[in-house]
Structure 1
Amino acid sequence: IMDPAETTFAHHMKAAGYATCISGKWQMYSYNPPDFEPEWRGKGQRAEDSGFDEYCLWHTEHTEDKGSRYGDPVIQQNGEYLQNTAGQYGPDIFAAYINDFVERHQDEPFFVYYPMALTHGPFNPTPHSADWPEKRHTNDPKYFKDMVEYMDVVIGRIVDKLDELQLRENTLILFLGDNGSPREVTSRINNHEIQGGKGLSTDAGTRVPLIANWLGATPAGVVCEDLVDCSDFLPTMMAAAGATLPEDDLFDGVSFLPQLHGQPGTPRDWIFSDHNPLPGWGKVGYYRQRWAQDKRWKLYDTGQLFEYAADVLEERPIAEKGEDAEAKAARQTLQKVLDRMQ
């Protein structure tokens, strides 16, 4: 859940003169079921207070009322629940709403946030699956592949709409994964099987795709190795909009807009992470972890140091007594970050 007093990036974009829209999933209000941590019931930030002019969302209220996000979805649109969604597919509705919003606001600055339902569990068939619609509520990891493919379909519809309206050269598209794949999903990369690492602090759980596209502005086919974390998106979006952040507030992010233009920029030297899965995740085997990392080393607040660039699954912690000069220097640098972020 989110503090109802929190200022979101939508508030900032709206203040910069942008029409704002969110379509997809919310889950920022009253997230917990009624039998778990009742003190969090009815708390959080509602979609209508979050800086968005319009919304089309699943799971805006209590968890037990959320319904399906996929087949026969339960979706709230600007304060009203959609009727007659039987046989429809949630991601189709979300993408269609975005396209309608873009068409209505094509002659003014607009900002769209699409927190996708895909490819989150449950793993249900999509309209392109052989088992749709008869088994549209069946949960089976075998459908994960279909869900990934359909994610590409709905993103393509949005990009096609921007093309149709000739807006691509004036629109920055940022595609970001939110976490690693679910544990039930095994992927094959370079002939190696990789189990999903959602909820883990390793690269399998925290390193995600980030794709930027701005026709005529971002160089095509370039891979940037700079560190980026989620706090960097607000300053990047504001810079792209030609707006500035309020000087009377504190922001941790670093704009990576120069890199999107093919320039060196001022990339960050480290990332700090605090994974605190409570409230809401206390029933499962996740626990709080804090760490700092650069491109090569990762130091946990427990004192464990990994050269994760060469030990991706973090199976070989480096004993402090046996550290070489590089490891010692990395430990000292990252420990200062942890101390600073207390």
Structure 2
Amino acid sequence: MKNLFPLCLIVFLAFRPLISSATINSVLNQNEPTHYNLVLIVADDLGYGDLGFTGSTQIKTPHIDKLAASGVTFTQGYVSSAVCSPSRAGFITGINQVEFGHDNNLGGVEPGFDPEYNGLPLTQQTIADHLNKLGYVNGLIGKWHLGKEPQFHPLKRGFDEFWGYTGGGHDYFEALPNGTGYKEPLESNFKTPAPITYITDDVGNESVDFITRHKDDPFFLFAAFNAPHTPMQALEEDLVLYQNIADKKRRTYAAMVHRLDLNVGKIMQSLEDQGLKENTLVVFISDNGGPTDSNASNNAPYRGQKGILLEGGIHVPFVMNLPSLLPKGLTYDEQVTSLDIVPTFLALAGDTETPMDMFTGVDLIPHLTEKTAPLANREMTWKFTISRAIREGDWKLVSIPDRLPLLYNLAEDPSEENDLALKNIDKTSYLLKKLGIWDVNLPHPVFLEGAVWKKRQLGLYDHNYQVTQPEVK
């Protein structure tokens, strides 16, 4: 055996002229991935403080916690809107959605507005449109909420496969053939949907099926869960686990988050079973903060909730996991946004044609691997119906119609309990002017939600919010 190596070396050298450099490089680099797969897991109306890794002492989420512990967690992760549809319009295009008129939440068509425009504007490309050009198979499992008219359908917005519903929410146990609203029928272009078992499980199972069917292709999976959005419906076996929680709505919510966690684990196990985990970028995020008044979520330590631009409405759990490339267990403390997802995905997919400066967001990979400096003192702006906000460094200003601007130093006051606007007039004036100039350059919204929501959103700024974890008994 000791004499074989010299013989092999002689044979290799003798025939070296017949072997191309490309072949040698191929052999040397055989462990490098031919492509990266992309998975975006989105929870719906999840409270910031309701996961183990974000501080929950009441709800157990071991699978999501494991995803965070083995990947990168963002302590200052934001979405671009405080409600479902505009937030999704932002993270599916990589562009702040108000810059193309998708300011409001999608509902019915208001008088004077054209239903042909009641969805994600056709002028915008989705992440699936971009990835199509790179040979990816794109699948959406679950919630769409970017337009119900035929021209807005996900299969016309770059997705190859769709199993789910086009509205903003769904019953967890039932879909009716002629149903509307939360009981609209499920649809699919690759199978006849079976009756719902429990929709969180069904989204998880269909996601696993997508991975299994496309394990040999570069794929993008958008797993858009309904949980823990209303209606408040949980499985009895999960409710038993949280029977110690006296408040019925909170108990149901905890059970729904538990079931979400199990299905995130199911997706991760599928990637591992198929040998894809190392080279698959998995992003986990919530589309906005928890609506504490309607689903009993907890956004601790942040004040506010879904629908408003205090931290509780836009500061969300945010994880990226890619074992072969990203650091394991990294806590990243600079500001990032869901608008960064598209440019990050495209760069990882090898897109060299799309101009990255068209996006509001940036490719995060170089910042997370220390090839580029951290994203310090990043400026972010938000607008949602009656509310506007700007963050620059540690300072955040919120402007709403019925009072003076609100100014907070988030480094000292992450819960936004101490308004410093009058004590820092120069900073207030500076940020308000910057925000106003940005605002007046935005286009008109292409559709509006009902006016009744404006009054409701204003009132949410005056609610009392729990900024600590619930007491565990």
Could you tell me whether the CA contact under 8 Å between 1:305 and 1:331 is conserved in 2?
no
CA distance in 1: counterparts of 2:418 and 2:206, whole angstroms: 48
Cα distance change on mapping 1:339 and 1:145 into 2, 3 Å: same
CA distance in 2: counterparts of 1:319 and 1:213, whole angstroms: 39
1:22 aligns with 2:159: no
* Deviation (angstroms), 1:215: 1.3
Cα distance change on mapping 1:104 and 1:145 into 2, 3 Å: same
CA distance in 1: counterparts of 2:356 and 2:267, whole angstroms: 36
1:56 aligns with 2:174: no
* Deviation (angstroms), 1:118: 1.0
CA distance in 1: counterparts of 2:146 and 2:321, whole angstroms: 28
Match of 2:268 among 156, 159, 168: 159
**Deviations, residues 247-282 of structure 1 (Å, cap 9, x unaligned):** 398322111112333544452611111113xxxxxx
CA distance in 1: counterparts of 2:305 and 2:186, whole angstroms: 29
* Deviation (angstroms), 1:305: 2.3
- AA aligned to 1:49 is K
Match of 1:198 among 299, 302, 306: 306
> Which residue is 1:237 aligned to?
345
> Which residue is 2:368 aligned to?
260
* Deviation (angstroms), 1:229: 1.6
Is the radius of gyration larger for structure 1 or structure 2?
Answer: 2
> Which residue is 1:213 aligned to?
321
- AA aligned to 1:290 is R
Cα distance change on mapping 1:150 and 1:335 into 2, 3 Å: same
Alignment of 1:277-288 (within 5 A): 288=386
Alignment of 1:1-342 (within 5 A): 1-30=119-148, 42=149, 45-58=152-165, 60=166, 68=171, 70-73=172-175, 74-78=185-189, 82-85=193-196, 88-126=197-235, 128-130=237-239, 140-184=249-293, 185-187=296-298, 197-244=305-352, 246-247=354-355, 250-265=358-373, 267=375, 269-276=378-385, 288-301=386-399, 303-320=405-422, 322-323=423-424, 328=426, 332=430, 335-336=433-434, 338-340=436-438, 342=441
The CA RMSD over aligned residues, in Å, is 3.0
CA distance in 1: counterparts of 2:345 and 2:384, whole angstroms: 25
Give the paired residue count: 300
**Deviations, residues 201-251 of structure 1 (Å, cap 9, x unaligned):** 111111001111111322111110111122211111111112135239832
Could you tell me whether the CA contact under 8 Å between 2:142 and 2:223 is conserved in 1?
yes
CA distance in 2: counterparts of 1:248 and 1:257, whole angstroms: 14
4+ aligned runs moved over 6 Å, structure 1: none
Could you tell me whether the CA contact under 8 Å between 2:141 and 2:223 is conserved in 1?
yes
**Deviations, residues 75-113 of structure 1 (Å, cap 9, x unaligned):** 21128762443xx11122222222122112111211111
CA distance in 2: counterparts of 1:97 and 1:205, whole angstroms: 30
> Which gives a bigger RCO, structure 1 or 2 (Cα 8 Å, sep 6+)?
2
- AA aligned to 1:169 is E
Cα distance change on mapping 1:79 and 1:220 into 2, 3 Å: closer
Higher helix share: 2
Cα distance change on mapping 1:236 and 1:337 into 2, 3 Å: farther
Could you tell me whether the CA contact under 8 Å between 1:306 and 1:314 is conserved in 2?
yes
Cα distance change on mapping 1:225 and 1:162 into 2, 3 Å: same
- AA aligned to 2:339 is S
Question: Quick check: 267-276 or 108-117, which moved more?
Answer: 267-276
> Which residue is 2:98 aligned to?
none
> Which residue is 1:282 aligned to?
none
Could you tell me whether the CA contact under 8 Å between 1:238 and 1:245 is conserved in 2?
no
Cα distance change on mapping 1:330 and 1:108 into 2, 3 Å: farther
**Deviations, residues 176-195 of structure 1 (Å, cap 9, x unaligned):** 11111122315395xx8x77
Could you tell me whether the CA contact under 8 Å between 2:239 and 2:255 is conserved in 1?
no
- AA aligned to 1:183 is T
Could you tell me whether the CA contact under 8 Å between 1:173 and 1:213 is conserved in 2?
yes
Could you tell me whether the CA contact under 8 Å between 2:253 and 2:297 is conserved in 1?
no
TM-score of the pair, normalised by structure 2: 0.57
* Deviation (angstroms), 1:43: 7.6
Could you tell me whether the CA contact under 8 Å between 2:142 and 2:225 is conserved in 1?
yes
TM-score of the pair, normalised by structure 1: 0.77
Q: Tell me, which stretches of 5 or more residues in structure 2 are unaligned?
A: 1-118, 176-184, 242-247, 442-473
Cα distance change on mapping 1:262 and 1:128 into 2, 3 Å: farther
- AA aligned to 1:202 is L
* Deviation (angstroms), 1:44: 6.5
Secondary structure (helix, strand or coil) at the match of 2:331 reads coil
CA distance in 1: counterparts of 2:408 and 2:206, whole angstroms: 45
Could you tell me whether the CA contact under 8 Å between 1:122 and 1:140 is conserved in 2?
no
Secondary structure (helix, strand or coil) at the match of 1:147 reads helix
* Deviation (angstroms), 1:334: 6.8
Secondary structure (helix, strand or coil) at the match of 1:293 reads strand
* Deviation (angstroms), 1:161: 0.6
* Deviation (angstroms), 1:12: 0.6
Secondary structure (helix, strand or coil) at the match of 1:181 reads coil
